């Protein structure tokens, strides 16, 4: 395979990438596109056969969120992606909150086109199994493929795996995991629904938790009558563009999804729960009486696992206050959304000011060429509960891709880069910083 160096062979300069992006989800696809458009040789590694991460493999719909109080908060390349997805016929922007409902198959295609048109070297069906380090640098990322194990060398590495797998394999410092991690959920797609009887299928309201209160109460009533109801959250729907089809987010599993035993139990238990919920919906609601299950997500959706201990840890208080930093490189406006793993409850705090993320949250002092983007950045639990959603992760990806590009041009470490150059470059593309 081109530009992949076998671990057992000597490598050449031809095999060296300027940037290696690990993970093709919302953060990774934007990071790779950003760095490639700057003229650099970029590899993007993805374990599935398609891009999109939690959006497509996890069926996490809608993309949340780009607006606060009717004002756009996140622009730049993330918004360009949304605009392309809308033009493709695969998405709808739901105002005034700026959530974006989408069809997962269109999302896959739009993401694929974006990275390939930028000139990214795309490696699908590639599982990251190790990293090679040299003092304070990561020299290569080792992947497992059908052709064997290979090391992909890079000058700069961007970890967009969600769980910070690359940073963890390299031995970077991490914050202590939360005692009660947010639960995982297995979303599913359902058809033949009378969507006209579900007024909350579009995420168009400000300061409203878009869960269905009537269905929620019905589930509590059934449970009180002795009917077996699996643990649930919400429920929440997304319209998925076409009438009659919905993506449903209702299941919950309390566990650490970086633990293989827990993640295996979660997949099996939540698949059982999905079928149970579909039966409950068909038998107890008018809107779903003729519904049919179309598919479950390729994997459980993960809300919280690891977060690096970066040069700076953004606190919830700073984020809620809208504190601006001299090195601010991303923003967020999703509610502080904390799901409880042991019951059916949720804390949903609607923020009044868009929060800012300093560049210092994207790296630590462990490695001079490693950046992270997505929900694994250096924040506390509260800030993470807002920033873990797609729009913010996309902008964090653009920030990381831009930072790597500036580092390459100036031949400096991620710690020594000129953050004003990062900001100016992002602003030139429409980022609102």
Q: Which CATH number belongs to the domain containing residue 50 in this structure?
A: 3.50.50.60
Same domain for 131 and 260?
no
Look at phi and psi of residue 198 and say left if phi exceeds 0, alpha if psi is from -120 to 50, else beta.
beta
Query: Contact 297/184 with Cβ under 8 angstroms?
Result: no
Using the CB atoms, write b or e for 264-301: b if 16+ within 10 Å.
eebbebbbebbeebbebbbeebebbeebebeebbebbb
Distance (Å, whole) CA 201 – CA 242: 12
Q: Is 411 exposed, middle or buried, given 0-12, 13-18 or 19+ CB atoms closer than 10 A?
A: exposed
Residues 310-343 have pLDDT tens digits of 999 999 999 999 999 999 999 999 999 888 777 7
- 83 lies in some domain: no
Query: Contact 185/294 with Cβ under 8 angstroms?
Result: no
* Sign of the Cα pseudo-torsion (115, 367, 399, 183, in order): positive
- 87 lies in some domain: no
What is the total count of domains within the chain? 2
pLDDT band at 178 (very low <50, low <70, confident <90, very high): confident
The DSSP code for 161 is S
Same domain for 267 and 322?
no
Residues 44-88 have pLDDT tens digits of 999 999 999 999 999 999 999 999 998 999 999 999 999 999 999
> Residues near 347 by Cβ (< 8 Å), separated by ≥ 6?
336, 337, 338, 340, 385
Distance (Å, whole) CA 322 – CA 326: 13
Nearest Cα neighbor of 166 from 45, 49, 268, 84 is: 45
The DSSP code for 362 is G
Alpha-carbon Rg for the chain in angstroms: 21
- 396 lies in some domain: yes
Same domain for 289 and 420?
no
Same domain for 249 and 315?
no
- Parallel, antiparallel, or unpaired: how do β-strands 99-102 and 121-123 relate? unpaired
Tokens for 220?
A: 């509590």
User: First vs last Cα of the chain: how many Å apart?
Assistant: 40
Same domain for 43 and 174?
yes
Residues 365-412 have pLDDT tens digits of 999 999 999 999 999 999 999 999 999 999 999 999 999 999 999 999
- 245 lies in some domain: yes
Domain limits for position 219: 188-296
Query: Contact 79/66 with Cβ under 8 angstroms?
Result: yes
Alpha carbon 75 to chain centroid, angstroms: 17
- 420 lies in some domain: yes
Same domain for 140 and 220?
no
Q: Is the pLDDT of residue 252 over 80?
A: yes
- For the entire predicted model, the pTM comes to 0.94
Q: Is 89 exposed, middle or buried, given 0-12, 13-18 or 19+ CB atoms closer than 10 A?
A: exposed
Same domain for 107 and 193?
no
Ordered DSSP codes for 249-269: EEE-B-S-TTSHHHHHHHHHH
Same domain for 146 and 118?
yes
Same domain for 104 and 163?
yes
Same domain for 314 and 169?
yes
Same domain for 274 and 201?
yes
Q: Which residue has the higher pLDDT, 127 or 202?
A: 127
Residues 182-222 have pLDDT tens digits of 999 999 999 999 988 887 767 777 777 788 889 999 999 99
The DSSP code for 64 is -
Same domain for 136 and 202?
no
């Amino acid at each position: 395979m081109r530009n992949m160096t076998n671990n057992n062979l000597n490598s050449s300069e031809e095999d060296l990438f300027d940037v290696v992006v690990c993970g093709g989800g919302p953060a990774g696809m934007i990071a790779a596109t950003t760095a490639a458009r700057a003229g650099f040789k970029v590899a993007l590694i993805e374990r599935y056969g398609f891009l999109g991460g939690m959006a497509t493999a996890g069926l996490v719909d809608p993309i949340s969120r780009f607006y606060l109080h009717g004002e756009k908060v996140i622009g730049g390349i993330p918004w360009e992606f949304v605009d392309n997805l809308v033009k493709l016929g695969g998405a709808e922007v739901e105002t005034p909150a700026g959530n974006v409902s989408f069809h997962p198959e269109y999302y896959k295609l739009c993401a694929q086109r974006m990275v390939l048109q930028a000139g990214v070297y795309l490696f699908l069906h590639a599982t990251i199994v190790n990293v090679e380090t040299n003092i304070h640098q990561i020299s290569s990322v080792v992947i497992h493929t059908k052709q064997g194990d290979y090391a992909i060398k890079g000058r700069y590495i961007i970890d967009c795996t969600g769980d910070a797998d690359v940073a963890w394999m390299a031995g970077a410092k991490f914050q202590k995991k939360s005692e009660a991690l947010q639960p995982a959920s297995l979303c599913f797609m359902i058809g033949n629904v009378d969507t006209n009887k579900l007024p909350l299928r579009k995420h168009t309201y400000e300061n409203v938790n878009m869960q269905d209160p009537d269905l929620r109460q019905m589930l509590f009533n059934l449970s009180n009558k002795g009917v077996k109801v699996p643990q649930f959250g919400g429920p929440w729907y997304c319209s998925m563009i076409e009438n009659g089809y919905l993506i449903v987010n209702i299941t919950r599993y309390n566990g650490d999804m970086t633990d293989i035993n827990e993640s295996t139990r979660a997949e099996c238990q939540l698949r059982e729960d999905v079928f149970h919920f579909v039966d409950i919906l068909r038998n107890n609601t008018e809107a779903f009486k003729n519904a049919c299950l179309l598919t479950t997500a390729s994997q459980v959706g993960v809300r919280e696992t690891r977060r690096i201990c970066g040069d700076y840890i953004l606190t919830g208080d700073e984020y809620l206050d809208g504190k601006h930093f001299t090195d601010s490189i991303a923003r967020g406006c999703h509610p502080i959304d904390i799901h409880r793993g042991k019951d059916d409850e949720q804390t949903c705090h609607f923020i009044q000011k868009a929060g800012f993320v300093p560049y210092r949250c994207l790296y630590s002092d462990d490695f001079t060429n490693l950046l992270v983007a997505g929900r694994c950045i250096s924040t506390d639990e509260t800030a993470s509960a807002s920033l873990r959603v797609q729009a913010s992760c996309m902008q964090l990806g653009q920030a990381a891709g831009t930072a790597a590009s500036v580092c390459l041009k100036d031949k400096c470490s991620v710690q020594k880069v000129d953050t004003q150059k990062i900001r100016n470059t992002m602003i030139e593309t429409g980022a609102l910083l």
